[in-house]
Structure 1
Amino acid sequence: MQNKNKTVIKSMDLLTLFLTHPKLSFNEMIKVSGMPKTSVHRMLGSLEDMGFLDKDEDGKYSLGLLFLQYGQLVADRLDIRQIALPYMKFLRDEMGEAVNLTIRDQHEAMYIEKVDTTQPVRLYTAIGRKSPLYAGACSRVLLAFLPEDELEQYLQDVELRAIGSGTITDQEKLRKVLKETQRNGYTISNSELEDYTTSIAAPIFNHKREVVAGISVAGPNVRFQAETIPVIIDKVKEVAEKISVKLGYDNKKE
């Protein structure tokens, strides 16, 4: 830590607040961040001057337009996002629910693309949001298909903490679900990241047969009925395979 610039780290902590809060006032940032008032005031001035934050007429801060430029650069360089997006739109139109795309970021999954449902009641997921690999279908499907040694190391290191009422916090149960995911090629989560939600996810593989992303259909659990779940499973797996083939995956190879 002594080799890292503490001001930069604190500034990043401040910017990270906006991943889950569209707008925040000065006092709200102090309350949520737990940082001293003087530190927040000093960093806000610099971040606003550099274009990382904008302040509206009500004194509320939000991420600046500069992030659109950076975000577009990152998005353009994520080939998987460009390849997957048309299939995600197709899946949304077929199922009527939100579709998410995740990639692994060390011990977490990051949402890199989403297509919202057209229905009025929807599940909100922000691009850039992260979640533990063990929680939620679109995260856990990445974990399940990691190489065995990486998977085992993760399971030994991770502390399973509850996020939603359905989060798996038992090690043996998690291992069982991961085995089922490997065997079936998909996974389902219920209220794991957010209560009263359901998600069904399948893995996306590259030409080396490595898992590189997860794709899911997600929404309020009342819209995931027993008769529709098998249809959603088939569609998610079908779309995941089509994206995998586009990435060079040979689905005919044993």
Structure 2
Amino acid sequence: MDLLNLFLNHNKLAMNDIIRLSGVPKSSAHRMVGSLMDMGFLTKDADGVYALGLLFLQFGNLVAERLDIRNVAAPAMLRLRDAIDEAVHLAVRDGDFSMYVEKLDTDHPVRLFTKIGRKAPLYAGASSRILLAFMPDAERERYLSEVRLEKIGDGTIVSMDKLRETLALTRKTGYSFSRSELENYTAELCAPIFDHAGRMAAGLSIAGPEVRFGEDRLPELIRTVKQTAHDISRKLGYAGPPIAP
């Protein structure tokens, strides 16, 4: 593992580099590298330089395919729900819409009624807009050039200029917040979840009556939701830093 770990930061290494960086004796390094090649973990090119073998690609694809984001996110979503006593949602992109694929409700007597499978256009609501904001640039521009912004709730953004400004701010701050965009008198706060390749995987949101998302409470809610989303991202293999501020 000490030898394999060297390739986390180096694409290719010569034998002398492996010996120097690992501190392993020359004879031992040659023996271990030979074993790793026999097992398919390392390959050697015509110049005698070593790289990780395709076996890692096979294992990596299996891990990615078998990783259910709902199962990975569930423990963190439960902790988040219990900590803030608001409904917690996990949303993914479905074409030009967002869709809730998991939800944890709250026992609060006044709460927001949503359900798994609910869809919303990508421009409306915090969960939708987080997916739109962190979409690949070309896909986002395609969507923005074709979409027709229609009013759904009193707070729905129907100005393209304002939508673009909001998306830019979301990418900068790492969260999206909406008030009365899909339903009047409701609020939603969402942060992005990234996968092992740094791609947008889902949005983690909290939602409830607008009166419980006052300016005095928002900073702590933002910090908590962003941190929880980052924790889930790390479990998916994301190695990047949290989005500041």
TM above 0.5, yes or no, is yes
Q: Following superposition of structure 1 onto structure 2, how do residues 17-166 of structure 1 map, counting pairs within 5 Å? A: 79-166=68-155
- 2:190 corresponds to 1:196: no
Instruction: Report matched runs for 1:8-19 at 5 Å.
Output: none
Tell me, in whole angstroms, the C-alpha distance in 2 between the residues paired with 1:134 and 1:220. 20
Opposite residue 117 of structure 2, the aligned amino acid is G
| Structure 1 residues 190 and 253: CA distance shift in structure 2, 3 A | closer
**Which amino acid is the alignment partner of residue 81 of structure 1?**
R
Q: 1:242 aligns with which of 231, 235, 242?
A: 231
Supply the AA of the counterpart residue of 1:221.
E
Which residue number corresponds to residue 207 of structure 2?
218
Look at both structures and tell me which one has the larger radius of gyration over its CA atoms.
2
Deviations 1:36-76 (A, max 9, x none): xxxxxxxxxxxxxxxxxxxxxxxxxxxxxxxxxxxxxxxxx
Relative to structure 1, the CA distance from residue 166 to residue 144 in structure 2 (aligned partners, 3 Å threshold; closer, same or farther) is same
Moved over 2 A (4+): 251-254
The Cα RMSD (Å) is: 1.5
Unaligned runs of 5+ in 2: 1-65
Q: Which structure 1 segments of 5+ residues have no match? A: 1-76
For 1:213 and 1:248, locate their aligned partners in 2 and report how far apart those are by CA, in whole Å.
14
Report how far residue 83 of structure 1 moved.
Answer: 0.7
Task: Give the SS at the match of 1:164.
Answer: coil
Contact 2:198 2:240 in 1 (8 A): no
Q: 1:252 deviation in Å?
A: 4.3
Contact 2:101 2:116 in 1 (8 A): yes
Task: Give the corresponding residue for 1:171.
Answer: 160
Alignment pair present for 1:232 and 2:221 = yes
Q: Is the 8 A contact 2:195 2:201 kept in 1?
A: yes
Q: What amino acid is aligned across from residue 234 of structure 1 in structure 2?
A: R
Q: TM-score, normalised by structure 1?
A: 0.68
CA distance in 2, matches of 1:161, 1:221: 21
Q: Give the distance between the partners of 2:69 and 2:109, measured in 1 at CA.
A: 29
Counterpart of 1:147 in structure 2: which amino acid? P
TM value normalised by structure 2: 0.71
1:187 matched to 2:176? The reply is: yes
